[in-house]
Chain A
Amino acid sequence: AQSVAQPEDQVNVAEGNPLTVKCTYSVSGNPYLFWYVQYPNRGLQFLLKYITGDNLVKGSYGFEAEFNKSQTSFHLKKPSALVSDSALYFCAVRDGGDYGQNFVFGPGTRLSVLP
């Protein structure tokens, strides 16, 4: 069975500093990996995905993620954090099934960017 771990419940970073939100996964076969962001009282918003190809994936709002197969990790990064990036971040994995019925979400990491 596939699973996702986000080892940090909370990440605090100063505005302008680089940020990293960690994610590790376990899946049989090739993983499809996703990052979502959730602002208060809103749905989950898709940021980026890794399917195949380059290990560095670029997404929305200046976010990027680095896929590392040997470490089974897919960490979310941004070179310079903004206060408006403060939100709840979810990593997700699905196996190579026909569609998204096998999405598994991590527990979430709350990012606080301090002015």
Chain B
Amino acid sequence: DAMVIQNPRYQVTQFGKPVTLSCSQTLNHNVMYWYQQKSSQAPKLLFHYYDKDFNNEADTPDNFQSRRPNTSFCFLDIRSPGLGDAAMYLCATSGTGTGVSPLHFGNGTRLTVT
């Protein structure tokens, strides 16, 4: 089945130690998103890629970066994680063909900062 895969499912990092979360997709969607979700709240969009075009949300901290080396993969880099960055990070994709595509989510990576 076509899907969005996030690795790892659980990540523990130390305060200030850089960490990278990964996302891959087999849906061949040209848009990929990164969301942050805390404590069962609504997901908060950090940024997205439309093909290779990077779109940052205005309130996303500089501490968060992203890379998309090809259509299938997207990475979230947190340069210096703080305790407040502990959250579930969700990757999603959507298509831009005919019709209105919903967002397709991966199962997330739960980040713990010690």
Contact = CB atoms under 8 A, between A and B. Distances in A.
A100 B108 CA distance: 19
A90 B6 CA distance: 21
A106 B42 CA distance: 6
A34 interface: yes
B42 A90 contact: yes
Nearest to A41: B110
Contacts, number: 69
Contacts of A99: 31, 50, 94-96, 101
A44 B99 CA distance: 21
A49 B42 contact: no
Interface residues of A, number: 26
B90 A44 contact: yes
B40 A108 contact: yes
B110 A46 contact: no
B112 to A, nearest CB: 13
A67 to B, nearest CB: 14
B46 to A, nearest CB: 12
A51 B101 CA distance: 10
Contacts of A105: 42-43
A95 to B, nearest CB: 11
A98 interface: yes
Contacts of B101: 99-100
24 contacts: A34-B103, A41-B88, A41-B108, A42-B107, A43-B105, A44-B43, A46-B103, A46-B105, A49-B102, A90-B43, A99-B50, A99-B96, A100-B33, A100-B92, A100-B102, A100-B103, A101-B31, A101-B55, A103-B45, A105-B42, A105-B43, A107-B41, A108-B42, A110-B40
